[in-house]
Amino acid sequence: MSNQLIADGILAGSIYVLIAVGFALAYRVSHFFNFTHGFVFTLGAYQAYLIHALVDSPLLECIGALVVGTFAALLISEILSKPLLRRRASPLVSMLASLGIYVVGQNLVAIVFGDRSLTIHGPAVESGVDIFGARLTIVQLFIIGSSWLVAFAVMFSIWITRIGAQIRALDNDRALAEIVGIPVTKVAAFGVAIGGALAGLAGFFTALDLDMAPNMGMAALLIGIAAAIAGGRRRLALVSLAALSIGIAQSASIFFVPAAWQESIAFIVLLLALTFQSRANFLTAPRADA
């Protein structure tokens, strides 16, 4: 019984890892918490619905999620980040602007597709596999496997590749990175694109496993925020760990608390993370003279 819960937790956690890593990556290159990440997540799910209506090809849907995610993120970044950067807006102002765009996006989806939830998998029960007493369908195993594969690929690239190093430099000190010749705009765009692809993929996987609704992005944002902050916003490995933990904790919490409180786990993680993290990591450097 408990093994099934753990398995469910790992499934949820794997999708959370995609969300959180994408969110944290986007944060690293733009230095504000971008709410539109939740909208890209939602688009990843709804594009699959469109494709599914035309042709039954999970492969196309998957590719679509990556493509739509990437382009949506880049397009939004064009609209949003350029003017914000120009007026050197604070992280707070940028975040609120992104919230506004998220609200517009979520409601556009609701107008086009309706408020009720939609599904893309058929009614037939899928074949499954038994692992240590827990039952997971082939699709679910695929989701878990690909999520981790993609997440590791991204983390590894940040660590090893040249552009990964450029992203790290950009995160560390944007002005300095520019001075030493790093094409910061392009590198930032790359980071945003990868983040968007991850968000889109996560949205697709969520729709594949469960269903989709216009407000699904909110829940994704909650997870992304909690995991990113718990993981220290920068170390993608820690962020992944936090995301996985949230997934497992949510599932396993049935033992300890009534089911109604499951969603609160993410919030509790966020509170604990903030309570135990030192302020020194968060405050911006002392202001320069006007």
Partner 1 sequence: MLRVHNLRKTFGSVVALDHVSISFPSRGCFAVIGPNGSGKTTLLNVLTGFVRADAGRCTYRNINLNRLLPHKIARKGIARTFQEVRLVRHVSCLDNLLLARRAELGKTVFRAIFSFTAENERAGKFEASTLLHSVGLGEKASELAGELSYGEQKLLSLLCVQIARPEVALFDEPFSGLHPMMIAIVEEQLKKLSDGGCLVGFIEHDMGAVSRLADHVIVMSNGKVLAEGATGPTLSRSDVLEAYIG
Partner 2 sequence: MTYLLHLVTLIAIYSTLSISLGLLVGQAGLFSLAQASFFAVGAYAVALNRADTATLFWTTISLGATLSALSSLLVSLPSGKFRGDYFVLVTFSFQIITFDLLNNLSDYTKGSLGVTNIPPANIFGWTISGVLGNALISVVLAVMAFFVVQRLVTSPFGRVLRSIREDEMVATATAHNVMAFKICAIAIAASLSAVAGATYAHYFTYVDPTTFKISQSILVLAMVIIGGAESRIGPIAGAALLVLLPEAVRFLGLSDAAAGHIQQIFYGALIAALMILRPQGLFGRYGFS
Q: Residues in the site for partner 2, rule: CB under 8 A?
A: 32-33, 80, 83-84, 87-104, 106-108, 110-111, 115, 218-219, 221-222, 225-226, 229, 258-261, 263-264, 266-267, 270-271, 274-275, 279, 282-284, 286-287
Least Cβ distance, residue 285 to partner 2 (angstroms):
12
Which of 53/274 has CB closer to partner 2?
274
Beta carbons of 249 and 265 less than 8 angstroms apart? yes
Least Cβ distance, residue 106 to partner 2 (angstroms):
8
Beta carbons of 122 and 52 less than 8 angstroms apart? no
Least Cβ distance, residue 213 to partner 2 (angstroms):
13
Under the binding rule (CB under 8 A), the answer on residue 87 touching partner 1 is no
Which of 126/263 has CB closer to partner 2?
263
With CB under 5 to 8 Å by kind, the binding choice for 288 among partner 1, partner 2, none is partner 1
∠ CA 225-41-216, nearest 5°, is 80
Using CB under 8 A as the binding rule, the residues of this chain from 271 to 290 that contact partner 1 are 286-290
Nearest residue to 270 (alpha-carbon basis) of 236, 204, 237, 222: 222
Nearest residue to 48 (alpha-carbon basis) of 71, 66, 74: 66
Which of 125/283 has CB closer to partner 1?
283
- Give CA–CA dist 19/230, Å, rounded: 14
With CB under 5 to 8 Å by kind, the binding choice for 290 among partner 2, partner 1, none is partner 1
Least Cβ distance, residue 281 to partner 1 (angstroms):
13
Which of 88/162 has CB closer to partner 2?
88
Which of 130/289 has CB closer to partner 1?
289
Least Cβ distance, residue 89 to partner 1 (angstroms):
16
Beta carbons of 24 and 252 less than 8 angstroms apart? no
With CB under 5 to 8 Å by kind, the binding choice for 99 among partner 1, partner 2, none is partner 2
- Give CA–CA dist 239/221, Å, rounded: 14
CA distances from 274 to 9, 108, 201, 242, 267 (A): 23, 34, 29, 13, 11
| Helices assigned H by DSSP within 55-183 | 58-86, 91-113, 138-160, 162-172, 174-179
Which of 162/287 has CB closer to partner 1?
287
- Give CA–CA dist 280/115, Å, rounded: 43
| Interacting residue ranges for partner 1, rule: CB under 8 A | 286-290
